[in-house]
Amino acid sequence: MKFYIPQLDGLRFFAFLLVFFHHLRPADGYFENIPVLAEMFSFLHDFGWIGVDLFLVLSAFLITKLLLLEYATEKHISLPKFYIRRILRIWPLYFFMLLLIFIVLPSMGEYYVPGIHSIEYQNLTNKYLFPHLFFLGNFSAGYYGMPNVSIIAHLWTVGIEEQFYIFWPFLLLFLLKNKTRYTYFMLFLLLLLSMYMRYYFVSNSVHPMIWTNTVTRLDPLILGIFLAFSRDNDCISSRGSVVKVLFGLVCVAGITLSSSIHNQSIHVVWQYFILALGFYLIVDACVSDNEGVINTFLSNKIFVWLGKLTYGLYVYHLLGIKCADRVMTLFEFYDTFNVWLLHFSISLMITIIMAIFSYYFFERFFLKFKGNFTSVASRPV
């Protein structure tokens, strides 16, 4: 049995682009004569982090859907095979990046990471190495703050995904075996728990744990799970999909209507949920309308191919931006649009090149073995 929706790969690439714009240098001052572009790039830089929530909705939907299909065909879910598939996909690149950050680059004396004999390096390893080895980097980032070494600052999100992969299949299998009618009620309670925990942390001024704690960021995961249960390959009209996408974009934009989410005010109780709801609607539209203009656009071969590389693009992009910073020192002009555009282009090009080499010469070696542990085939390697 096969289950593959190519437009979701295209959507995944655009989720990466949001995060990529967020980590680029600000475009302030480069678009003074083009106000529309100034506003757009300002929004992308300030709010590009929302791409992480889109990633989480997509992951929760796809993982849950594949497990549901496996249960429907096999009358069982093989947890060992599931974990082996996840290990083959996530672990090689993740641990290679940790090796690069904590061993290789410090030994080389690269400016991306403190030298291996420096106090800064000792602080980095004492606070962040052990948690990241066990996919708890999100909690170390929440407790100690984001690491000063920027090329590791994004890996805490991998911890959230891995924690989801560990616990959700057990709970899903329990629900399916016991044919419980309270699945949606349980998801609703988890959603309330996530909102309450955000309220609790805000009330007690705990930051950035509100941002990085898995329990406070359950909204996109829960809505992705809900979509997998509720969407059973039934299609909607192209017009209906456009309406859903537009309403989803309104929800996403709605987080800007009150205090900035970076302020971690009481508004985060609803802001994270509205954001997840917006992406839920967008993913739902993509899943249920295979021939509309939106999905035709996202199913473009280039976007789908880049979507296949998205994990590598995400893992390498901060290193790619740092490498581009070094290249930019060759140029003497820094205050024009051309320089910002050049920095963007070089950063993206370096990141894509690293992701291509990583996928075809490293990751794919491990991905070849996934077929031995797969009941429902998804994206081809």
Domain assignment present for residue 381? The answer is no
> Tens of pLDDT along 239-254?
678 889 999 999 998 8
159 compared with 255, residue with greater pLDDT:
159
User: Distance between CA atoms of 158 and 94, rounded to whole angstroms?
Assistant: 8
Q: Is there a contact between 210 and 43 (Cβ–Cβ < 8 Å)?
A: no
CB neighbour class for 330 (10 Å; exposed up to 12, middle 13-18, buried from 19)? exposed
Please report which confidence band the pLDDT of residue 178 belongs to, taking 50, 70 and 90 as the band edges: confident
In the numeric block, which tokens belong to residue 191? 């959603």
Q: Is there a contact between 160 and 57 (Cβ–Cβ < 8 Å)?
A: no
68-96 burial, b at 16+ Cβ within 10 Å, e below that, comes to bbbbeeeeebbeeebebbbbbbbebbbee
In the numeric block, which tokens belong to residue 36? 């529309």
> Tens of pLDDT along 346-375?
999 999 999 999 999 999 999 999 888 887
Domain assignment present for residue 112? The answer is yes
> Tens of pLDDT along 165-177?
999 999 999 888 8
Domain assignment present for residue 378? The answer is no
- Which segment of 61-75, 316-330, 367-381 scores lowest on mean pLDDT? 367-381
DSSP state of 25: P
Would you state the pLDDT for residue 43? Answer: 83
231 compared with 245, residue with greater pLDDT:
245
Please report which confidence band the pLDDT of residue 209 belongs to, taking 50, 70 and 90 as the band edges: confident
> Tens of pLDDT along 302-318?
999 999 999 999 999 99
Q: Which helix (H) or strand (E) holds 79?
A: helix 79-99
Would you state the pLDDT for residue 290? Answer: 67
Domain assignment present for residue 337? The answer is yes
Residue with token string 């004396």: 109
User: Distance between CA atoms of 331 and 219, rounded to whole angstroms?
Assistant: 44
Would you state the pLDDT for residue 277? Answer: 97
Span 260-277, average pLDDT: 85
Answer whether residue 234 shows pLDDT above 70. no
Domain assignment present for residue 57? The answer is yes
Q: What type of residue is 21?
A: F
Answer whether residue 48 shows pLDDT above 80. yes
User: Distance between CA atoms of 82 and 100, rounded to whole angstroms?
Assistant: 27
Asked if the bond preceding 80 is cis, omega within 30° of 0, the reply is no
Would you state the pLDDT for residue 198? Answer: 93
Which of 3-7, 280-284, 371-375: highest mean pLDDT?
280-284
Share of the chain above pLDDT 70, in %: 92
Answer whether residue 341 shows pLDDT above 90. no
Would you state the pLDDT for residue 214? Answer: 95
Span 337-350, average pLDDT: 87
Report phi then psi at 114, rounded to 5.
Answer: -60, 150
Domain assignment present for residue 296? The answer is yes
Share of the chain above pLDDT 90, in %: 58
Residue 361: count of CB within 10 angstroms of its CB? 9
User: Distance between CA atoms of 108 and 142, rounded to whole angstroms?
Assistant: 29
- Structural domain of 278: 6-373
Would you state the pLDDT for residue 239? Answer: 65
Domain assignment present for residue 1? The answer is no
Would you state the pLDDT for residue 381? Answer: 60
Answer whether residue 335 shows pLDDT above 60. no
Number of domains composing the chain: 1
User: Distance between CA atoms of 295 and 357, rounded to whole angstroms?
Assistant: 28
Domain assignment present for residue 328? The answer is yes
Q: Which of 123, 101, 122, 127 is nearest to 113 (CA)?
A: 101
Would you state the pLDDT for residue 296? Answer: 86
